[in-house]
Amino acid sequence: MPNVNVSLKDIGKLVGKKLSVKEFKEAVLYAKGEVDAIEGDMITVDMKDTNRPDLLSAEGLAREIRSRITRDRGITKYKIRKGNIELLVDKNVANIRPYIAAAIVKNVKVTEDFLIQIIQLQEKVCLTFGRKRKEAAIGLYDWTKLKGPMHYRAYKPREKKFIPLEYKVEMDLEEILEDHPTGREYKHLLEGKNKYPIFEDNNGVVASMPPIINSQITGKVSENTKEVLVEVTGHNQERVNTALNVMVSALAERGFDIYSVKVRYPNRTVITPDFTPKKVSVNLDSIRSFSGMDLSNKQIVELLQKARYDAKISGKKVVCQYPSYRQDILHPVDVIEDVLISYGYGNIEPTSIESATIGSERIETKQVDLARDICVGLGLQEILTYTMTSKKKQTETIDLDPEKEKFVEIENPMSENYAIFRKRLFPELLEFLSKNKHNSYPQKIFEVGKTLELDAKSETGVNEKNTLCIILIGKGAEFNTIKSVLDAITSNKGETYSLKETQLPFLEKGKQAELALGKRKGFIGEVSKSTLNKFGLEQKTVVLELEI
């Protein structure tokens, strides 16, 4: 989880009330934070929720605390003045990094606290919410050194030169990616592109090379800066807008003036930033049922206002508007969580269970245990792999197109190795085998675990299944052998199955089949040489994967 460093004095100024260390420790709990370390006036806060990028700075924490301990409640109203600057988006960035949003901030008063917080917020948002700049990269510039309109274009690797941040010599775009430390760190984000994006002014003065690096001349905010241009690029307009709103609302918290920018795409025009509140309705009885408390309508509205909602009762529901910088409200239960945070978990009185129940294993659990026992009885070795994995492992390594395969993804993964939930078990088992080539063959392994798929018909949009995967590698790993394992499993469970021909790219042609057990599905066959090569495996391998 990310840590946020803040000055207690600065927090006090932003809240409008001097806070003791004890008061801050208690208040920051409302923002899902805990004080991790104290050194003089500086406090390190361990944030427990990475889905709230708006809380990754002193400004965001102060805004949240202020609504809990003062009468400043509901959505904070920030004034956006109409700007006269246009940002022209060239059509040649459409297949590279297509979306951009921007704002101008004037009457900026740069202090040490401000510089620390704005740089920290920029870095934290790019790292977490921006997925290490892949989905959102943020640039801050001294606006007085640029001349509008601004342009967002793409250039060939050797076509454009500028002095990158912390350098003294000009470098072309290719040289930056190959020789500059930051360029080398993030060049994978532009891998495979024959042109690279550039953000520049009307005179061709380069501001930055998104999402890699800023210009040394314009891309630096100092104690002399009076006007700041904020820019965000990415692959999704909504995510880009949210990141901009997070940055700009933090600047507005310090009393700076915000001006809009007109972003002109080839086929449409967008005005940014856009602070229009989002809306969600929640059943009042659901709030009472989930919380276990008989809260009045008035109490519910007041608790939501403390959580920065504008709320009003409409029949049996409470209609809530919430700030545009929040993107974590995906379900009514998220609103109910904010009600409970405002009430205070420590203030909830525990109650005794009035009805006695007799516990028993769920049918699904019994089925999983039975499958596991059968596999052990067949002489197979059980292994356990992570539910979270990488998109590459679940697609490219088994010859599937990553653009066509859809997964349940983590919105802000800390690592690409754990960015999605697995859709199939067998790539994970193949990786396990690739790390155990030093052990003798044959190897016979199995895993019973969860797999997840997107499902629009499900309440959560996700279908979670219990899945069994068996892999045999080495001598005796034949189609008939793995089929006999299937026969043993279905016979012991009293089930029947059917097979039909299929063409899965990770299995050998003519040695594979689609498996059906009623509504449950699976596949069986010999793993293709192409897939085995990607895992560094040389022995013949057969696989069986089916839903339990």
- Residues 50-80 pLDDT 10s: 889 999 999 999 999 999 999 999 999 999 9
Q: Are 308 and 76 in contact (CB under 8 A)?
A: yes
Looking at residue 334, what is its pLDDT?
Answer: 94
Angle at the Cα of 156 (from 150 to 159), degrees rounded to 5? 75
Looking at residue 457, what is its pLDDT?
Answer: 86
Element (H, E) at 290: helix 284-291
Residue in 69, 497, 52 with CA at minimum distance from that of residue 306: 69
Looking at residue 162, what is its pLDDT?
Answer: 96
Residue 503 reports pLDDT greater than 80: yes
- The tens digit of pLDDT for each residue in 276-293 reads 999 999 999 999 999 999
Residue 273 reports pLDDT greater than 80: yes
- The tens digit of pLDDT for each residue in 325-351 reads 998 998 999 999 999 999 998 888 888
Looking at residue 411, what is its pLDDT?
Answer: 83
How far is residue 467 CA from its own chain's centroid? Answer: 26
Alpha-carbon distance of 461 to 464, in angstroms, equals 10
Residue 317 reports pLDDT greater than 80: yes
Q: Name the pLDDT band for 360 (thresholds 50, 70, 90).
A: confident
Q: Are 543 and 470 in contact (CB under 8 A)?
A: yes
Looking at residue 355, what is its pLDDT?
Answer: 75
Q: Are 246 and 57 in contact (CB under 8 A)?
A: no
- The tens digit of pLDDT for each residue in 376-426 reads 999 999 999 999 999 999 999 999 998 899 999 988 787 888 899 999 999
Question: Mean of the pLDDT values across residues 485-501?
Answer: 92
* Bridge pairing between strands 213-214 and 206-209: antiparallel
Q: Name the pLDDT band for 353 (thresholds 50, 70, 90).
A: confident
Alpha-carbon distance of 103 to 324, in angstroms, equals 15
Two tokens at 55?
């809380």
Q: Name the pLDDT band for 485 (thresholds 50, 70, 90).
A: very high
Element (H, E) at 230: strand 228-234
Looking at residue 150, what is its pLDDT?
Answer: 97
Looking at residue 117, what is its pLDDT?
Answer: 95
Two tokens at 45?
């806060």
Alpha-carbon distance of 69 to 71, in angstroms, equals 7
Question: Mean of the pLDDT values across residues 15-30?
Answer: 93
* Bridge pairing between strands 381-382 and 443-454: parallel
Q: Specify the higher pLDDT residue, 299 or 460.
A: 299
Mean pLDDT of the chain: 94
Question: Mean of the pLDDT values across residues 300-318?
Answer: 96
Question: Quick check: helix, strand or coil at residue 292?
Answer: coil
Residue 357 reports pLDDT greater than 80: no
Give percent of the chain with pLDDT exceeding 90: 87
Q: Name the pLDDT band for 4 (thresholds 50, 70, 90).
A: very high
Alpha-carbon distance of 63 to 220, in angstroms, equals 26
Residue in 61, 86, 36, 325 with CA at minimum distance from that of residue 202: 86
Looking at residue 85, what is its pLDDT?
Answer: 95
Residue 212 reports pLDDT greater than 80: yes
3-class SS shares of the chain: helix, strand, coil, % to 5: 30, 30, 40
* Bridge pairing between strands 150-155 and 80-89: parallel
Q: Name the pLDDT band for 123 (thresholds 50, 70, 90).
A: very high
The count of other CB atoms within 10 Å of the CB of residue 125 is 27
DSSP 386: -
Residue in 309, 115, 354, 65 with CA at minimum distance from that of residue 224: 115
- The tens digit of pLDDT for each residue in 34-58 reads 999 999 999 999 998 888 999 999 9
Residue in 365, 363, 121 with CA at minimum distance from that of residue 243: 121
- Domains of the chain plus CATH, in order, are 3-69 (3.30.56.10), 80-272 (3.50.40.10), 278-344 (3.30.56.10), 363-547 (3.30.930.10)
Looking at residue 383, what is its pLDDT?
Answer: 95
Dihedral, CA of residue 40, residue 42, residue 43 and residue 44, to nearest 10: -120
Residue in 377, 456, 462, 366 with CA at minimum distance from that of residue 421: 462
Q: Specify the higher pLDDT residue, 107 or 457.
A: 107
Looking at residue 145, what is its pLDDT?
Answer: 95
Is the bond preceding residue 350 a cis peptide, omega within 30 degrees?
no
Q: Are 434 and 536 in contact (CB under 8 A)?
A: yes
Residue 521 reports pLDDT greater than 90: yes
Looking at residue 351, what is its pLDDT?
Answer: 81
Looking at residue 415, what is its pLDDT?
Answer: 80
Looking at residue 516, what is its pLDDT?
Answer: 93
Alpha-carbon distance of 468 to 548, in angstroms, equals 6
Question: Mean of the pLDDT values across residues 515-544?
Answer: 94
The count of other CB atoms within 10 Å of the CB of residue 103 is 24
The count of other CB atoms within 10 Å of the CB of residue 271 is 13
Alpha-carbon distance of 144 to 33, in angstroms, equals 37
Rounded to a whole number of angstroms, the CA Rg of the chain reads: 28
Angle at the Cα of 416 (from 414 to 422), degrees rounded to 5? 105
pTM of the full structure? 0.69
Looking at residue 414, what is its pLDDT?
Answer: 74
In angstroms, the Cα distances linking 203 to 119, 148, 150, 156 are: 27, 8, 9, 19
